[in-house]
Amino acid sequence: MMTKESSRSSEKYALRVEFEQFGKPNGLNWFTTTLFIVADMAGGGVVAMPIAMLQSGGIAGAIIIAILCVAFCYTAHLLSENWTIMCERWSVYKEHCRKPYPEMAYRAMGSNARSFCSSTLNVMLFGVSVVYLLLSSHIINDFVSSIIGHSIGFCYTLLVVAVILWPITLLKSPQDFWWAIVVAMLTTLFSVILILVGTSIDYSICNAASYTPPFHIKSLLLSLGTFMFGYGGHAVFPTIQHDMKNPKHFTQSAIVAFCIVTAMYAPISMLGYATYGDSLEESIINSIQTEWIQRGANLFIAMHCILTLTIVINPLNQEVEQLFDVPHHFGWHRFILRTTVMMAVVFTAESVPKFGPILNVIGGTTVALTSAILPTLYNLYLKASTIDPTTKKYKRPTIIEVIERTPKLRLIINFFVIVLAIVFGIATTHTAIVEMASTHFTMPCYLAYFGNPAHNLAAESPKENRAMQILVDEDNIVEKWYIQAPLLLILLEVLTICVIRSILAYMGIVKYRHKRDECYKAPILDSSYFAGGPTYLERKKRHHETNHIINAELDRWRSQEFLWNKGREHYNEQNLTYCQQD
C-alpha cells in the first residue's frame, strides 16, 4: 500500500517531469542551438570588426570586445530565464508561439510594451536586411570585378542582386531551414580561416608600412555600433530556445556560442589592426593582397549574407502581411506587399551605399534595445511579479515593487547593463548620423545617375569616393540639400507609411493594434478578442458567427420547450384517462 510520503514524492516527480519536458520532442539539441546562435551573430561583424578596432584603438577595442561579450552573454541568459518562467506559469507557451519576444514583453510589462517590442524588432529586421543586401552587393561586385578586370558598378550590382533574390522572398516561410543556418555558419567559418591566413601572409610586408592613427574619442564612439552589432543576435534567441528539445540548456549553448564568436572576432580584429593599420578598407577582405584568398573569402561571406538575408526578411514580410490581413495562400496581396518591402530595402540601400554607417546606427539603436535593455527589464518585471489572491493570476509589478523585490546584487548588475547600453547607444547613434551626413557622406545611387557623369564614381570605391569628394568640394557641385536628401527621403517614406496606416485603421480596413495574445486564438465570444481592433471583414464575420450561435441557442431552447410541452400534454392526457376510468 502506498504511503502518504511516497504519494507526495511521486506527485513532485510527475510535476518535475512535466515541467522539464515542455520543449519539443524533435527539437534542437544544445549543440545545434549553438550553431544557430553563431550563424545568427557572425557574418557582417567578421568583415567590419577590424575597422571598428582601428577606430577604437587596440587596447580600447579589446576591452570593449571583452565587456560586450560578457554583458551580452549575460542578457542572453536573462532571455533564457524569461522564457523558462513563461513556460512554467502559462502552459500555452509550451506548445507553440509565433512571436516569443513580443509575448515576453506582454507578460512582463503589458500590451504597450509588446507593441513597442514588435515595432523595434521590425525596424531591426529591416535595417539588417539593408546591411546584408549592401554587404552582399559590395562583395559580389568586388568578386566579379576581380575576375573580369572591369568594375560594373556597385549601384548596378545591387539592383541585380535584389532582382535575383526577389522571387525567393515571395515564398511563404522557410520551413525546416536548419540546413541554411548550418551552411551560413560554415561559410562564415571558412571565410574567417581564409582571412586569418591571408592576413598572416601580409603581416611581414604590410606591417612595416602600416600607420596607426592617434586615438580620438569620436572614432571610439563610432566604433561602438559595430561592436554591438557583432554581438547583437538576441532578437531571435527566444525563437531558437522555443524550438529546443530542452530549453533549459539554452544558457549552455549561448555561452559556447559567444566563446566561438569571440574566438572569431578577436584574432581577425587584432591581426588586421596590426597588419594594415589605417589602410584598412571598409571590409578587411579587400585589404588582403593574395588574390585567390580574397576571392574565396568574398565568395563565402557573400553566400552567408544571401542566406541570412532570405531568412531575416521573411519574418518582416509575415509581419507586414499580418498587419494588412493578407491571406496565407499565395496571391496578389502577397505579391504586392512583399515586392513593396523589397523595393523599400533597395531604396534605402541605394540611398546610403555604404553599409558601415547603417550598421553603426542599427547597433546603437535596435541592437542596444533588443540585446541589452529589453531583456534586462523583462527579467526584472517577470521575477518581481506575484500572484493576485483574488484573481489567482500573476500581477505585473510597479517600478517601486521591482526595486523592492529584486535582490540588490542582481539589481545593481542589471542597472549597470541598462545604463551601459543607453550610454553606448546614444553616443554611437549620434556620432554615426553626424558622420553619415558629413564626413563619410556618399552620393546616393539614384542621384549619381543624373547630372555630372563624374557622380557615378561616388559609390564605386572608397579611394575614388574620397577623390570625388575633394573634387565636389572644390567645384561646389553638391549643394547642402544633396547631403540631407537620403535622410529626408527615408523620413518622408516612413511618414507616408504611417499616414496611410492611420487612415486605413481609422476606416476599419486594417488592424491598428495587436491581438491580446499572439500564441493562441481566443474564443469567439471572448471579450479579449475584440480588444485587438478587428477589421471590417472580421467584424462582419464575427457578427454572422455570433448570430449563428444565438440562433442555435434559441433553437435549442425552442426544442426543449417543445419537448416540455409535449411531455406536459402527455401527462395531462394520462391524468384525464385515469380520471375517466375512475
DSSP per residue, 491-520: HHHHHHHHHHHHHHHHTTSS-SS--S-SSS
Which of 276, 300, 301 minimizes the C-alpha distance to 289? 276
pLDDT at 406 over 60: yes
Q: Percent of the chain at pLDDT above 90? A: 6
Which of 520, 522, 519, 521 minimizes the C-alpha distance to 97? 519
Determine the 3-state secondary structure of 386 from DSSP: strand
DSSP letter for 171, please: S
* Higher pLDDT, residue 357 or 137: 137
pTM of the model: 0.70
The CATH number that domain 28-383+392-399 falls under is 1.20.1740.10
SS (H, E, C) 100-112: HHHHHHHHHHCHH
pLDDT of residue 2: 46
Q: Tell me how far apart the alpha carbons of residues 138 and 461 are, in angstroms, rounded to a whole number.
A: 9
Report the length, in residues, of the chain. Answer: 582
For 58-98, the DSSP string reads HHHHHHHHHHHHHHHHHHHHHHHHHHHHHHHH-GGGGT--S
Label residue 132 by pLDDT band (50, 70, 90). confident
* Higher pLDDT, residue 536 or 108: 108
Q: pLDDT per residue over 494-523, tens digit each?
A: 555 555 555 555 454 444 444 444 444 333
In 210-290, which ranges are continuous DSSP H helix?
A: 217-231, 237-242, 250-276
Using alpha carbons, list the distances in angstroms from residue 226 to 146, 348, 432: 27, 19, 10
Residue type, 229: F
pLDDT of residue 72: 92
pLDDT of residue 579: 53
Of 69-83, 156-170, 346-360, the least confident: 346-360
Q: Tell me how far apart the alpha carbons of residues 326 and 252 are, in angstroms, rounded to a whole number.
A: 39
Strands 386-387 and 394-395, by their bridges, are antiparallel
pLDDT of residue 346: 86
Burial, 297: exposed, middle or buried (Cβ in 10 Å; 0-12, 13-18, 19+)?
buried
pLDDT of residue 473: 41
Burial, 476: exposed, middle or buried (Cβ in 10 Å; 0-12, 13-18, 19+)?
exposed
Q: Tell me how far apart the alpha carbons of residues 363 and 232 are, in angstroms, rounded to a whole number.
A: 8
| Cell numbers for 193 | 580561416
Q: Locate cell 572576432: which residue?
A: 265
Strand partners, 401: none
Average pLDDT over all residues of the chain: 73
Domain ranges of the chain: 28-383+392-399, 535-581
pLDDT at 18 over 50: no
Q: Tell me how far apart the alpha carbons of residues 345 and 490 are, in angstroms, rounded to a whole number.
A: 11
Q: Percent of the chain at pLDDT above 70? A: 67
Spacing of C-alpha 96 from chain mean position: 19
- Let me know: does 44 contact 241? Beta carbons within 8 Å: no
- Let me know: does 505 contact 511? Beta carbons within 8 Å: yes
Q: Locate cell 587596440: which residue?
A: 58
Q: Tell me how far apart the alpha carbons of residues 528 and 518 are, in angstroms, rounded to a whole number.
A: 12
pLDDT at 353 over 50: yes
